[in-house]
Chains A and B, each alone.
Chain A
Amino acid sequence: MNILRKIIKNKLEITVLAIVIVLALLAHGYNMFHFPPYFDDEGTYMSQAWSILNLGKLAPYTYWYDHAPLGSLLIAVWIKITGGFFTFGNSIDSGRVFMLLIQLLNVALIYKIATKLSNKIAAFISIILFSFSPLSITLHRLIFLDNIMVFWLLLSLYTLLVKPLKISMVALSAFSLGLAALTKESAFFFIPPLFITLLAQSSHKNRHFILVKWVAIFGGVIIFYCLYALLKGELLPDSILNSSKHVSLIETFMWQLSRKGGFFLDKSSEFYYTFMQSWLNTDPILVIGGIGASLMNLIIGIKRKSFFIVSIFSLSYFIYLIRGGIVNDQYLIPVLPLVSLNMGLLISEVVSMFKGRLSILRYASLFLIVIILIVFYSKNLGLYSLNYTKNQIETLLWLKSNAQEKISVGDGYGLVDMWYGNTDNIYEYKGYQHYWKVEDDPQLREELLLNDWKNIDYLIITPRMQRDFQINTFPMLKTFLSHADLVKTINVEGNQEIKNKNVLISLSGPINIYKKQNISKILLDSAWAYYKSAFIKSYGQSVDPSREYKTTSEGQSYAMLKAVFQNDKPTFDGIWSWTKDHLRYRNQDKLISWLWGEKDGKEQLIDSNNATDADEDIALSLILASNKWNNPKYLDEAKVLLNDIWENAVVRVNGKYYILPAVNGFDKPDGYVLNLSYFSPASYRVFSTVDKIHPWGKLADDSYSTLEELSKIKNNKTDLPPNWIFVTNDGELISAKKYMGKDSDNYGFDAFRTLWRVSLDYKWFGEKKAEKYLKDIDPFFSSQIKDNKKIYSMYSLDGKPIVNYTSLSTNVGPLSVFAVSNSKKAEELYNSSIYKKFNFEQGYWGDKNNYFDQNWAWFGTALYTNSLNLPQGILDLYKKPLLLKRINSNEY
C-alpha cells in the first residue's frame, strides 16, 4: 500500500522520466546499425567475445593485455544470453544492442546520482544532455569498453552517495571500481575523486573499516588481475625476467602510459586535434558548457559538498586527458556523464534562484534550455538517417561469396562475421585476419602466413586502414599491395554528407579490395625489377658482369623481350635507343652488332658482326611492342630488321632454308655452320604476319625438318639437338666439330634454348611438330630424373652426361619439354630446380650475378607459367591472313 501511495504521489515524475528514457533510448537506438560506421575496435572486442565463447581464451590472437578483459567477457555473456552473434544482424549490430542496454543503465544511474546530489531538475537536465547530445549518441552507439567502464564507475559513485554509507555499499563501490579498471584501465584515474568522495561521505564511526574495505577490495580485484598474468607467466617484462620474448602486463601498461600525444595546447598534439576536430565540432554545448560548469562547481563546491564531488570527478579526468598522452575520440566517453552532471547541477542551481513570485521564470528558463538544445542538436539529424555501414556490409557479402577459404586481411569489424562457423585455432584459420595482427603478431605470421606475405590472398582497405597506412609502415602489407590488383571497389553508400564531421565518421567511404596477383606474375615482376637494377644501366645498356661488363646484342634482345612482356615501356625504349645508338653501325645492313665493351681503354664497339638470334629476338620484341603499345613505329623498325635478317642471314641449301648464326664467319667453302638454338619457329610465324615478302613460314617448317632429321641420325639415342651442326653444300647434316670444337656435337648450354623456342611454338601456335618433337625427347629426360634425380647440364647425344653438375639455365630445356609432354613432371622440375631457388625478397634465382641464369630462369618460368602471351591480334593475323576476297565483298 505504501509503495502504491508513493507511486501515485510521484506520478508526474515517473511519467516524465518514462518519456525521457524512452526518447533517450530512441535517440540512441534509432539508426544505430547504420551510423556511425563500424569501427575497427568494435570488431576487436566482438572477436574477443567470440574467442571467449569459442576458443576459451581472452583473445583470438595472442592476448597482450592491451585491452582489459572484463568488457569482452560481458559481451560474451550478452551474446550467450541473446542466442549468438547474429541475433540482431551482424556481430557488430549485436554488440551495439548491448550498448543500448548499457546506455539505459547509465541513464538510470545518472538520474539517481543527480537526485542524490541535488534534485530532480538537475537529474532531468543531466540525463537529457547525456542522452541527446549528438557527440554522446555517436560515442555511445559504438561498442567501446569505455561505455561499459562508465557503468561500473557510475555504480561505484552512486553506491558511495547512498546515506547512511554502509560497509556493504562501500564494498560494492570498491568492487565496481575494480570492475571498471578491469574493463578499461583509464578507470584508475578516478581513484582520487572516488577516494575523496569516500572520505567526504563516510561517518567517523566506521571510517577505518570503510577505508580498509575499500582499499582491500579494489586492490584485491587489481591484485587478482596481476595474479592472473603472473600465473600465465605474463606479468613481468622480459627485461626483468631475462627470458625469451613474451607478452607482459606491466610492459603493456608502461607502454600505454608512455604513448605520447604532445602538450595539449600544442596544435599538433593529439588532445588538441581530437578536442577541436572531433568533440568541439560535434557538440560545443556539452564540451564547453561541461568544462565551464565543472569549473564553476568547483567554486560553489567550496561550500557545497555535492558540487565539489561532481566537479573533481570531471576535472580530474580532464587533467588525465591533457597529461600529454595519446587521445582518441572515445577518450571523451568517461567524461560525458560527468559534464552532464555538472551542467545539470549548475543549471538547476541557477534556475532555483527564481523563487516565490519569480518561480514562473524557473520553468520558462528550463523550457528555453530544452528549446535551445533541440535547435542546436537538430543540426545533426544525420545520426538518424545516414547509412554509413552499407559499404562495410556489402564488402563482407562480397568476401563471403568470392574469398572463401582464402586468407583475406582487413579491419576488425569483419572478424566475427567472417569467422562464422570456424572452429580452427585462429593461427591455422584460412579466412579473414586482422591487419594489425598480420603485421604484428609473430605467431600469426609464423604459423598461418609462414612469414610470407604471398600467403595472403586479399587485402581489404577500409578508410580506417587507409589512414593507418598513411601513418604507419606496414612493411608486409605494403609489399603485398605492390603485388596486388584492385579487383573491387565497394561504394554503395553514395554521396552522403554530414555537417559536423568528426574523426570517427570520417572513417566511412568506399572500400577497396585488392587481390594478390598471380604468384608467377609477382615472381617475374620482382625478378625483372632485380634484373634491371643488377644488369641494366639506367639509360638502357645491359651488361654482363661475368664478361667484364661487356654488352652483347643478345643481352639487349633478352632485356627487350622481357621488357615488353613486363609491359615496361620506358625500359624497353631505353634499351632499344641505346642499342640503335651504339650497336647499329653496319654499312651493309641495319642488323645489330653483337659486342660492345672496353677495348684499348675506351668503351666502344668491339665486333661489328651480328648475332642472328639477337636480331630475331629484337624483331620479335618490336612486333610485340607495336601491338602492345599500339605504336606502328616499332613495327616499321621490325620490318627493316626482318628484311635484313632474311637478306643477309638466311641461306637456301638444296631447297631448304637455314638461318645462319651471323652474317659473317659461318659460311664455309663446304657448307654452313649452324647453331640450332637460333632456330625460332614461333618467331618466324610471327614474322610471317608482318613480312609478306619473305617465306618465314617455310623457314619454320624447314627448321623442324632439320631438327627431325638430327634426331634420327644413327648415334642420337636421346633425340636431343646438338649445340652446333654443319650443313654441307649438298644439304647433308654433319658434325660441326671441325669448326666449333668438341662440344659442338653435345647437347648443352646452347642447345637447351632450342627446346625452349620449340616449346614456345607449341604454346603460341599449338604446332603439332613442336609437340611431337618435344614428346620424343621426354623419355630421355624422364629416365634421367628417375635414375639421377636430376638432369645434368650437358649430354652427349647418346645419353651420357658430359658434366656432373646441373644449372638453372639448362634446366629450362627439360622444363620446356615437360611443359608440353607431362605437366606433373614439369611442376616437379619447376618447383625443385627453379622456383625453390628464387629469392622473393631480392628477386633473383640462385647466383645473383649470373646473367645467363637470371635470363633463362626468367624465360623458363615465364614459359612454364604461361606468362608469355601472344597478343590475340597476331594470332588472328596468323590464322586468317587478310584475303583479297574480303575486300571485294559487299562491304564495298
Chain B
Amino acid sequence: MFNKILIAFLIIITGYISTAVLVEAGILSFIVLLFSLIVLVQSLFTLIWMLYAWENPDEMNLHKSPKEFLSPKYKFSLLVPARYEEKVIADTLKAISKLNYPKEMYEAKILIREDDAGTIKNAQMALRGSEKENIEIITFNSYPINKPHSLNIGLKNAKNEIVGIFDAEDELHRDILQVINTTLIRENADVIQSGVQLMNYKTRWFSMLSVLEYFFWFKSGLLFFSKVGKTTPLGGNTVFIKTSWLKMVGGWDEGMLTEDADMGIRLSRYGAKTKVVYDELHTTREESPVDIKNFIRQRTRWDQGFLQILKKGDWAKLPTVRQRVFAFYILLSPFPQSILFAIAPILVMIAITQKLPVPITLFTFLPLYLFIIQILVQIVASYEFTKAYKLKFPILTPFKIFITFFPYQLLLLYSSIRSLYRILRSQYSWEKTSHENIHRAESKNLNLYEYST
C-alpha cells in the first residue's frame, strides 16, 4: 500500500516536473533531463544490487555456506562438459575424485565430443590407475557443437536426483557437495547456485574489475534478483538442479549461447525454488580471459546470449509482473550500464554547451557522480575481496581501479555493441574462450586452497 502511494506520488511529481521543464525550458532540456533520469535510475539500481549482500549485516550469514554439514542425503550427477581442455582436464578429474562426499552418492559425467581427441586422451590418462570408478567419460558425435548439447547428453545419462554442472577448467571445492546437500535439506530448494569466482586479479589491467564483477554478481546480484526480483539467471557452473525439474522443462535449449541464464528464467517461470549460496570458502574458482580479444569474445557471447533469451520471450511468461520486469532488466543489463555510461558525459556536455538552465545542468552531473560512487564501491570491494580470499591487497589497487574503470566500461560497451551487431547479422557461432590454468597457478602459492579433511 505504502509503496503504491509512493509510486503514484513519484509519478505525479515526475509528470509535473517534466511538464514544467517542457514548457519552461524547452524540448532539449526535457530530453536531456529524461535521459539523465534514466541513467540515474539505472546507476542507482546498479548500486543497490551491487551492495545488496552487505545491506543488512544481520542477514549476511544466511547466504553463506552452512557451518556444519548434515549427513549426506541427496545423490548427485555431476556433468562436466569439456572441449579442447586437455591442459586442465586432468586436474579437474582429480578434484572431482577427491570430493568429500560418499563415492556411492555421486557420479560424474565428463562430456567430450569425439573430435576432441586430445582432451579425451588426457582425461582417460587421468582416470587410469586411480579410484575413479564413479567418473565416466561420455563421448558423442552429434550436433550442434555447444555446451547445452553436451549437457543434454549428460542429462540423459544422469542417474541421480540432483544434477550439478561444472566446467572443465573449474577448481571446485572439496566440500561443495556437502554444502549443497545440507542447503538442499535445510532450504527445501529445487535449484542451488553456488558462487563462482574469478581469481586471477593481477594478470591483466582489466582483471581486477572482471574479478570484482564476478564478486558482485555472485555474492550480491544473484541474491538480489532471486530475493527481490524472484528471478534468477543461473550461472554456467556450480549450479545444482533437481533432475526432475530439468526433465520437466525439457533440458537445455541447444540454440542458446547462454543456456544457463535461459535455464534460470525457465525454471523461474515454472516456479522452481532457487537458493543462492556464496561463501568465499566454497566458491568455484575460475580464470578470467587471458587477453582483451578473448575477453571481448566472452562478453559478446554473454551479451548476445542474453539478447537471444530476450528475443525468445520466455521471460514474458513469468508468473508475476515483478518477475517479468526484473527478467527484462537482467537480460538487457549489459546494455544500459555501458551505453548509459557513454551517454552520461554527452548529456553533461550538451547541457553546458547549450547553456541549459542550471538546475538541469546540475542534474546531468548526477549520473556521473554515481559513477564515481561506483568506483569507490569497487575500490572497497577490491579490498573486501582480497580480505575474504586472504589475498594480498596491492597498495596501488584503488588508484588502478580509478584509472581502469573507464577503459573497462569502454570494453563492455564495445562488446555489447558487437553483440548487437552479431544479432542483427544473425551470427550465433560459439566463440570459445581459451583457458590457461592461470587461476590455479596464482592460487597455488596460497595456503587457502588446501583440501581440508
Footprint of B on A, CB under 8 Å? 56, 164-168, 202-203, 205-206, 208-209, 212-213, 216-217, 220, 223-224, 227-228, 231-232
Cβ B369 vs Cβ A220 within 8 A: yes
B56 in the interface (beta carbon within 8 A): yes
Q: Return A193 CB to nearest CB of chain B, in Å.
A: 22
Q: Which residues of A contact B97 (CB under 8 A)?
A: none
Contacts of A232 in B (CB 8 A): 358
Q: Is B60 an interface residue (CB 8 A)?
A: yes
Quick check: is B384 within 8 A (CB to CB) of the other chain? yes
CB pair A224 B55 closer than 8 Å: no
Smallest beta-carbon distance B60→chain A, Å:
5
Beyond A167-B51, A167-B55, is A208–B24 a contact (Cβ under 8 Å)? no
User: Could you tell me if B358 and A209 are in contact, using CB atoms closer than 8 angstroms?
Assistant: no
B365 close to chain A: CB less than 8 A: yes
Q: Which DSSP category, helix, strand, loop or mixed, fits chain A's interface?
A: helix
Task: Check B117 for interface membership: any CB of A closer than 8 A.
Answer: no
B361, B369, B380: the one contacting A209 at CB < 8 Å is B380
Contact A164 B56 (CB under 8 A): yes
Say yes or no: A56 contacts B365, CB within 8 Å: no
7 nearest A-B pairs in the assembled complex, by CB-CB distance: A203-B57, A206-B54, A164-B58, A205-B57, A216-B373, A208-B380, A209-B54
B402 within 8 A of A: no
**Residues of the A chain whose Cβ atoms lie less than 8 Å from the Cβ of B376:** 212, 216
Could you give, for residues 33-76 of chain B, a 1 whenever the CB lies within 8 Å of some chain A CB and a 0 otherwise?
00000000000000010010011111010000000000000000
Q: Smallest Cβ distance from B318 to chain A, in angstroms?
A: 26
Given A206-B60, A209-B380, A212-B380, A227 contacting B365 (CB threshold 8 A): yes
Tell me how far the C-beta of A392 lies from the nearest C-beta in chain B, rounded to whole angstroms: 35
Cα(A223)–Cα(B379), bound, Å: 20
| A166-B55, A231-B358, A231-B362 given; A205·B60 CB < 8 A | yes
A167 to B376: give the CA distance in the assembly, Å: 15
From residue A243, how far is it (CB to closest CB) to chain B in Å?
A: 19
CB under 8 Å from chain A, chain B span 2-56: 24, 48, 51, 54-56
Q: How far is the CA of A166 from the CA of B59 in the complex (A)?
A: 10
Question: A168 to B54, alpha carbons, bound, how many Å?
Answer: 10
Which of A168, A217, A223 is in CB contact (< 8 Å) with B55?
A: A168
Whether B377 lies near A212 (C-beta < 8 A) is yes
Task: List the B residue with the shortest CB-CB distance to A205.
Answer: B57
**Are B361's CB and A231's CB within 8 A?**
yes
CA distance A167 to B50 in the complex (A): 11
Check if A224 sits within 8 Å of B365, measured CB to CB. Answer: yes
Residue of chain A at shortest CB distance from B352: A231
Complex interface: chain A residues within 8 A of B449 (CB): none
B383 contacts the other chain (Cβ, under 8 Å)?
yes
Q: Provide the bound-state CA to CA distance between A301 and B372, in Å.
A: 38
**A164 to B379 alpha-carbon distance, docked (Å):** 24
Interface size class of B (residues with CB under 8 A): 20 to 34
A–B pairs, 26, beta carbons within 8 Å: A164-B57, A164-B58, A166-B55, A166-B57, A167-B54, A168-B55, A202-B57, A203-B57, A203-B58, A205-B57, A205-B60, A206-B54, A206-B60, A209-B54, A209-B377, A209-B381, A212-B373, A213-B373, A216-B372, A216-B376, A223-B369, A224-B362, A224-B366, A228-B358, A231-B358, A231-B362
Roughly how many angstroms separate A189 CA and B57 CA in the complex, as a whole number? Answer: 29
A167-B51, A212-B376, A212-B380 known; A228 and B57 CB under 8 Å?
no
Distance between Cα atoms of A223 and B362 in the complex (Å): 11
Give Cα A209 to B51, complex, Å: 8
Q: What is the predominant secondary structure among interface residues of chain B facing chain A? A: helix
How far apart are A624's CB and chain B's nearest CB, in angstroms? 65
Report the Cα distance A328→B209, complex, angstroms: 53
* Further contacts, 15 of them, CB under 8 A, given A167-B54, A208-B380: A164-B58, A166-B56, A168-B55, A206-B54, A209-B381, A212-B377, A212-B379, A216-B372, A216-B373, A220-B373, A224-B366, A224-B369, A227-B362, A227-B365, A231-B352
Closest to A204 in B: B57
A213: chain B residues at CB < 8 Å are 51, 373, 377
Residues of B with C-beta under 8 A to A208: 380, 383-384
Contacts of A217 in B (CB 8 A): 373
Contacts of B57 in A (CB 8 A): 164-166, 202-203, 205-206
Q: How far is the CA of A224 from the CA of B366 in the complex (A)?
A: 8
Within 8 A of A (CB), among B283-309: none
* Pairwise interchain contact A228-B51, C-beta atoms closer than 8 A: no
Least distance between A629 CB and chain B CB atoms (Å): 65
Near A by CB (< 8 A), chain B positions 347-370 give 352, 358, 361-362, 365-366, 369
Q: Which residues of B sit under 8 angstroms from A231, Cβ to Cβ? A: 352, 358, 361-362
Closest to A224 in B: B362
Please name the residue on chain B nearest to A223 by beta carbon. Answer: B369
* Chain A hits for B373, CB < 8 A: 212-213, 216-217, 220
A2 to chain B, nearest CB (A): 16
Q: Which residues of A contact B380 (CB under 8 A)?
A: 208-209, 212
Shortest beta-carbon distance from B167 to chain A in Å? 31
User: B48: which A residues are within 8 A, CB to CB?
Assistant: 168
Chain B proximity of A194: nearest CB distance (Å): 19
Residue of B nearest to A209 (CB): B54
Whole-angstrom distance from the CB of B54 to the nearest CB of chain A? Answer: 4
Taking the closest CB of chain B, its distance from the CB of A471, in whole angstroms, is 36
Q: Which residues of B contact A206 (CB under 8 A)?
A: 54-55, 57, 60
Q: Judge whether A228 and B362 touch: CB under 8 Å.
A: yes
A73 to B173, CA, bound (A): 58
Q: Which of B54, B60, B373, B384 has the most CB of A within 10 A?
A: B54
A212: chain B residues within 8 A (beta carbon):
373, 376-377, 379-380
Q: What is the CB-to-nearest-CB distance from B288 to chain A, in angstroms, rounded to a whole number?
A: 24
Complex interface residues of chain B between 372 and 392 (CB less than 8 A to chain A): 372-373, 376-377, 379-381, 383-384
Report A-chain residues with C-beta under 8 Å of the C-beta of B365.
224, 227
Shortest Cβ distance from residue B23 to the other chain A in the assembled complex, whole angstroms: 12
Residues on the A chain within 8 Å of B372, using CB: 216
Interchain nearest-CB distance for A232 vs B (Å): 6
Closest residue to B384 on the A side, CB-wise? A208
CA distance A209 to B48 in the complex (A): 12
CB distance from A876 to the nearest CB of B (A): 68
Min CB distance, B32 to chain A, in Å?
Answer: 14
Shortest Cβ distance from B376 into A: residue: A212
What is the chain A residue whose CB lies nearest that of B54? A206
Tell me how far the C-beta of B436 lies from the nearest C-beta in chain A, rounded to whole angstroms: 33
A230 vs chain B, min Cβ distance (A): 10
1/0 per position for B95-107, CB-CB distance to A under 8 A? 0000000000000
Distance in Å: Cβ of A136 to nearest Cβ of chain B:
32
Shortest B22–chain A CB gap in Å is 15
Q: From A165, A168, A209, A217, name the one whose CB has the most chain B CB atoms within 10 angstroms.
A: A209
What is the bound-complex CA distance between A167 and B380, given in angstroms? Answer: 14
Nearest B residue (CB) for A215: B376
Cβ–Cβ < 8 Å partners of B51 in chain A: 167, 209, 213
Nearest B-chain residue to A217, judged by Cβ: B373
CB distance from A425 to the nearest CB of B (A): 17
Residues of B within 8 A of A202 (CB): 57
Docked CA distance A336–B191 (Å)? 56
Q: Could you say which residues of chain A place their CB within 8 Å of the CB of B58?
A: 164, 203
Chain B residues whose C-beta falls within 8 Å of the C-beta of A223 in the assembled complex: 369
CB distance from B195 to the nearest CB of A (A): 17
Q: Could you tell me the distance between the alpha carbons of A228 and B366 in the complex, rounded to whole angstroms?
A: 12
Neighbouring B residues of A224 by C-beta, 8 Å: 362, 365-366, 369
Chain A residues with Cβ under 8 A from B369's Cβ?
A: 220, 223-224
Which residues in B have their C-beta under 8 angstroms from that of A227?
362, 365
**In the complex, how many angstroms separate the beta carbon of B57 from the nearest chain A beta carbon?**
3
Residues from chain B with a CB closer than 8 A to the CB of A166 are 55-57
- B102 CB to closest chain A CB (Å) equals 35
Q: Which residues of B contact A167 (CB under 8 A)?
A: 51, 54-55
How long is the Cα–Cα vector from A232 to B358 in the complex, in angstroms? 7
- From residue A70, how far is it (CB to closest CB) to chain B in Å? 13
Minimal Cβ-Cβ distance residue in B for A203: B57
Q: How far is the CB of B342 from chain A (nearest CB, A)?
A: 22
